[in-house]
Structure 1
Amino acid sequence: MIYEDYNYNKEEDLSCCGICNKQFSEGEPVSVIDFPKGPFRIVCKECMDELRSLSLKDQRTDNGIVEPQNIINELKAESKLWRYMDLAKFINMLKNSTLYFSSPNDFEDIYEGAYGELRNKEAWDSYYLNHAKTSIITAPDNCWHNIEEEKLEVDARRLVEQISMRHDNMIFINCWHENEYESEAMWKMYSKNVENAIAIQTNFGELKKQIGEKASIGKVKYIDYSKRFVGINKVYWNKRKAFEFEREVRAIVHGFDECGKNGIEIKIDLKELICNVYVSPYAPSWFCELVKDIIKKYGYGFDVKYSELREAPF
């Protein structure tokens, strides 16, 4: 089995409760739940009430207060974020007072927006076929409905085809590197073609303040695509483990009105967003002075620092 901890291809019997095996009747209230491992289940009201009771019991502290589970804010307001770029992009940012969001169509990683490895597509289709059947059976009122098997199969396959379509032309992404310090790997990545690279440094709290209402912001999760695939709403929040060094934080915009564009710009207050500007350790001395002049020309007073990686040892 390719997937170590999951069994996506079980083709569950959707006519009975996945816990007690009770046969459903037309119009009976049901719930769809996901287990930590293995596929989802349709369960009857009695089993769902029991699960809720057990869940509350597990979450109850010594003083009897129920605390929410699995709500972890991985990014703190003070978490440092870095955006590495070349001089042209930095000047464009200063000139327009904007952040640029790129279409993933322009990204080099062929797995950008991917669901998994092609060899595992059959398992993905099987899982979502069952998921589609469940959605159809329980729509629109979260009750179980008896649907003729042939019709259910046709409608479910049509639904899977629809949800598996890529929407890269409606997605726009702004990328940051989370780290307390500068990253040599990131400097090398952005200085491989031109030594005159720049990094701006901010924090998560300020980034969220500037664009939080216009974009979703979160950490990228690095996964092994040979052992699992990605859910339909998570494709742009996952990357291969080979990219783990990037420690990427993304701001993602669903630009339905911007369909087909290579990128979009969002207006921000750069004076509030940027804490410091850093110059690549590979850049010559005159470049640092040039960056200071350009910043002054556009009316900003950012503190410009040479990368600390340039400091000489003894």
Structure 2
Amino acid sequence: MYIHDEHIKLPEDPDTVVWKYLDLSKLVDLLLNKQLFMSRSDKFEDQHEGTFSEPTYNEIKKLSADNPDFLKYYKKHREKVVISSWHLNEYESFAMWQIFTQKQEGLAIQSTIGRLQQSLHPEQSFRQYIGEVNYIDYKKEYIPFDNTFFPFLFKRKSFQYEREIRIITDVSGQAITIDNGLKIDVDLCQLIERIYIHPKSENWYKNLVIELVKRLGFDFGIEKSDLESEILI
């Protein structure tokens, strides 16, 4: 089930554009299985994922002085939360192409906030949020902890360039052991509006993507990157 909380930021316009940059193997996995891979929160490169800022940690430490299990819960909870990250931007991002794709090959899924919301199957038994990440100073600013999703919606200011929208799934109520991540069922026709192909890719790669998507039975719009447009002099 998809849950909305009034304290979680999210652009109000459902047509707000979001992107996911990925390689071809991850796209094939998504299309074949009709499931979105979500990474376990404590497996991200940023070791601060799902942790608290210093002011919040100090408060929790005081609260857990007589109840050490209170603090242990938050540490273990990271193992039961999985995340799918999307980039909030009206246009393609050259930086995102550079960071998330390699060797002049890669793809970008274009979607919208509304499409993300509609793509999640309501019958799934675990709780899910979609929210915009807040970028704060972890030495000075406070992260609320009255909702167990909140720690996963804050990151350090040095990651501001990511402009991240997250689908967050909490499976702590389920008898599920997560290794590196979890796949959740999604409606691909809702999730994917268009697929963009890496701006420096060669023609054979573009043709491969087009043929592959077609053979898998999908008719998504496939576009060459807007960054590939011809120079006008």
TM-score band w.r.t. shorter chain:
0.7 to 0.9
Name the structure with the higher strand share.
2
Task: Classify 1:188/1:217 alpha carbon distance in 2 versus 1 (closer, same or farther; 3 Å).
Answer: same
For the residues of structure 1 that align with 2:196 and 2:80, how far apart are their CA atoms? Answer: 32
Match of 2:163 in 1: 247
Count of aligned pairs: 218
Q: 1:147-196 deviations in whole A, cap 9, x for unaligned?
A: xxxxxxx6x343543444342210110111111111111011112x3321
List structure 1 runs of 4+ shifted beyond 4 angstroms.
Answer: 69-73, 123-126, 129-132
Residue number among 222, 227, 230 corresponding to 1:309 in the alignment: 227
Task: Classify 1:129/1:100 alpha carbon distance in 2 versus 1 (closer, same or farther; 3 Å).
Answer: closer
3-state DSSP class of the match of 2:79? helix
Q: 1:19-46 deviations in whole A, cap 9, x for unaligned?
A: xxxxxxxxxxxxxxxxxxxxxxxxxxxx
Shift, 1:127, TM fit? 2.1
Shift, 1:306, TM fit? 0.7
Shift, 1:216, TM fit? 0.5
User: Cα RMSD (Å) of the superposition?
Assistant: 2.3
| Higher Cα Rg, which structure | 1
Match of 2:100 in 1: 190
**Aligned-partner residue type, residue 50 of structure 2:** G
Q: What TM-score, normalized by structure 1, do the two folds share?
A: 0.63
Higher RCO structure (Cα 8 Å, ≥6 apart): 2
For the residues of structure 2 that align with 1:219 and 1:73, how far apart are their CA atoms? Answer: 5
3-state DSSP class of the match of 1:165? helix
For the residues of structure 1 that align with 2:153 and 2:160, how far apart are their CA atoms? Answer: 13
Q: Do structure 1's residue 263 and structure 2's residue 176 form an aligned pair?
A: no
Shift, 1:95, TM fit? 0.5
Shift, 1:286, TM fit? 1.3
For the residues of structure 2 that align with 1:77 and 1:131, how far apart are their CA atoms? Answer: 39
Q: 1:26-75 deviations in whole A, cap 9, x for unaligned?
A: xxxxxxxxxxxxxxxxxxxxxxxxxxxxxxxxxxxxxxxxxxx9897534
For the residues of structure 1 that align with 2:58 and 2:153, how far apart are their CA atoms? Answer: 23
Match of 1:104 in 2: 41
Q: Gaps (5+ residues) in structure 1?
A: 1-68, 133-153
Q: What TM-score, normalized by structure 2, do the two folds share?
A: 0.84
3-state DSSP class of the match of 1:266? strand
3-state DSSP class of the match of 2:75? coil
**What are the within-5 Å matches in structure 2 for residues 117-136 of structure 1?**
120=54, 124=56, 126-128=58-60, 131=63
Shift, 1:303, TM fit? 1.1
CA contact (8 A) 1:220 1:239 kept: yes
**What are the within-5 Å matches in structure 2 for residues 20-39 of structure 1?**
none
For the residues of structure 1 that align with 2:121 and 2:213, how far apart are their CA atoms? Answer: 26
For the residues of structure 2 that align with 1:274 and 1:283, how far apart are their CA atoms? Answer: 21
3-state DSSP class of the match of 1:105? helix
For the residues of structure 1 that align with 2:100 and 2:91, how far apart are their CA atoms? Answer: 16
Between 176-185 and 269-278, report the one with greater CA deviation: 269-278
Identity of aligned residues (%): 30
